[in-house]
Amino acid sequence: MALRILSDPDHLPALNPAFAHRRPATGLGPDEPAPRILLLYGSLRERSYSRLCVEEAARLLRFFGAETRIFDPSALPLPDQIAGDDHPAVHELRELSIWSEGHVWCSPERHGQITSIMKAQIDHLPLALRGIRPTQGRTLAVMQVSAGSQSFNSVNTLRILGRWMRMFTIPNQSSVAKAFQEFDEAGRMKASDYYDRIVDVMEELVRFTVLLRPHATQLVDRYSERKASGVAIHPATDLSSIASKP
């Protein structure tokens, strides 16, 4: 399977539990079963800082009561490289997105933009697949890492892509500058304002995912899709028409 195994999943040395909600979405909606979050990163380096950030995010999401899966893009072919996209890694990425209720995308900034590895993963996710929409209605949190000073080019691009993929991108985001300074030798993120921002982002992602959960289907119910599929609205079950009656 093209899944990254998370080491020390419950070890959070940089988190001060005295200030952390274990269930940040309490009261916003049904938080059972656990929110399902897919995490994508954009570098294949042995010491990939986008992957290390995603792993910290996954640990925090677990702490907040979510179920996480991290996709490993190392075996993913280029878009259109394989006829019909018939490749095990492509199939698994799509199935993981269908499984998910929310995503986390983290890309390095390279030449002022997201990496080709990050873009390839998104390009392998079609808007529609056998009558199913793998990304539509999912929540999305965006993050980036930079080798130099703080920048927001990658997260801005990821926001554009999230909108194109019909996802609900949360307001908060993370941009880690000089990422090589923010991790110890074991690959764990040091306590810092950058780490605290990732905590904020994951906390917010869980809240929005739970908040939208009861309404996700209705929020992405579109006239054009109903018309194309020939699904007419039945007046007896159309809640909007019932509610508008005098």
Q: How many domains does the chain have?
A: 1
Tokens of 15: 């988190």
Residue 1 lies in a domain: no
Has residue 2 got a pLDDT over 90?
no
Taking the C-alpha atoms of residue 179 and residue 129, their distance in angstroms, rounded to an integer, is 37
Residue 236 clears pLDDT 80, i.e. is over it: no
pLDDT digits (tens, 9 = 90+) for 138-182: 999 999 999 988 889 999 999 999 999 999 999 999 999 999 999
- Which domain CATH number covers 236? 3.40.50.360
Q: How many CB atoms lie within 10 A of CB 55?
A: 25
* Rounded Cα–Cα distance for residues 135 and 143 (Å): 18
Answer whether residue 15 is part of any domain: no
Average pLDDT on 198-205 reads: 98
Mean pLDDT score across all residues of the chain? 92
Residue 12 lies in a domain: no
pTM, to two decimals:
0.92
Q: Angle 48-49-54 (CA atoms, 0-180°, nearest 5)?
A: 100
Establish if 16 belongs to a structural domain.
Answer: no
Write the DSSP symbol of residue 129: B
Is 131 in contact with 185 (CB distance < 8 Å)? no
C-alpha 82/C-alpha 88 separation (Å) is 11
240: pLDDT strictly greater than 60: no
SS3 for 15?
A: coil
Residue 155 lies in a domain: yes
Burial 210-238 (b: 16+ CB within 10 A, else e): bbbbeebeeeeeeeeeeeeeeeeeeeeee
123 falls within a domain: yes
Q: Check pLDDT > 70 for residue 119.
A: yes
Instruction: Evaluate whether residue 5 is within a structural domain.
Output: no
Omega of the bond leading into 171 within 30 degrees of 0 (cis): no
Task: Quote the domain boundaries for residue 155.
Answer: 23-243
pLDDT digit string, tens, across residues 53-86 = 999 999 999 999 999 999 999 999 999 999 988 9
DSSP alpha helices (H): ranges in 165-245?
193-212, 216-219, 223-229, 239-243
Q: Give me the mean pLDDT over the 180-188 stretch.
A: 95
Instruction: Return phi, psi of residue 94, to 5°.
Output: -65, -40
In a domain, 7, yes or no: no
